Amino acid sequence: MDLVRPAPPYIASYSDALRRGWSPDNTRDAAAAEELQMIVQDATQFLESLTDTDAKGPPVRLPDGSVVPRLPGFRLWMWDGEFCGSIGFRWQVGTSELPAYCLGHIGYAVVPWKRRRGYATRALGLMLPMARERGLAHVDLSTDPENIPSQRVILANGGVFQGRFHKTAHYAGAEGFLYRIYL
């Protein structure tokens, strides 16, 4: 499995995963349908929107419907001959800190039919040098307390448990686990 920049040769496989019920955003149920609609309307523009290192795109809609400023970031796709999952990286320029509404620097999701193959662990490992290139001293990642597979992925990449926290009201104040990977 390798990470690839979203591009036309991969879009059919990505779209198929969305149609099969997978979503790149585990905090918003509507994300898959929204992305399919964007692909149908203008696939080229959709692909370009996945890389926004200058945060020029529109504000981001959170699970509670509120909108917040976009952070610089990009998304890459996991690929093993077909689409396997997605990993995204976001940051603030000049600091390793994130605004309270952002639950972590890196988020990832593997399609259910490709899980338990080490793809998320490898993808996170491949993303860390990219974070280091942005000058970050560390990356923070959060998981739900019951998401043991994600916790294992983070730990396998050097994650250090920082503690339990309550997410902001944007995420209904749910409990989360915070991990940090020092770069």
State what percent of residues in the chain have pLDDT above 90. 83
Average pLDDT in the 148-174 region? 91
At residue 117, the pLDDT reads: 98
pLDDT digit string, tens, across residues 29-56: 678 889 999 999 999 999 999 999 999 9
At residue 181, the pLDDT reads: 98
Q: How far apart are the first and last CA of the chain?
A: 23
Mean of the per-residue pLDDT values for the chain?
A: 94
At residue 27, the pLDDT reads: 67
Confidence of residue 106 (pLDDT cuts 50, 70, 90): very high
At residue 28, the pLDDT reads: 62
Amino acid identity, position 72: P
At residue 177, the pLDDT reads: 97
Amino acid identity, position 170: H
For residue 70, the 8-state DSSP code is P
pLDDT digit string, tens, across residues 60-94: 888 788 899 999 999 999 999 999 999 999 999 99
At residue 29, the pLDDT reads: 66
Torsion sign (Cα): 65, 144, 166, 72: negative
Q: Which domains does the chain have, with CATH numbers?
A: 2-182 (3.40.630.30)
From residue 153, give the alpha-carbon distance in Å to each of 7, 119, 121: 26, 9, 5
Any bridge partners for residue 80, and if so which? none
With 0-12 CB in 10 A as exposed, 13-18 as middle and 19+ as buried, what is 163? exposed
At residue 43, the pLDDT reads: 97
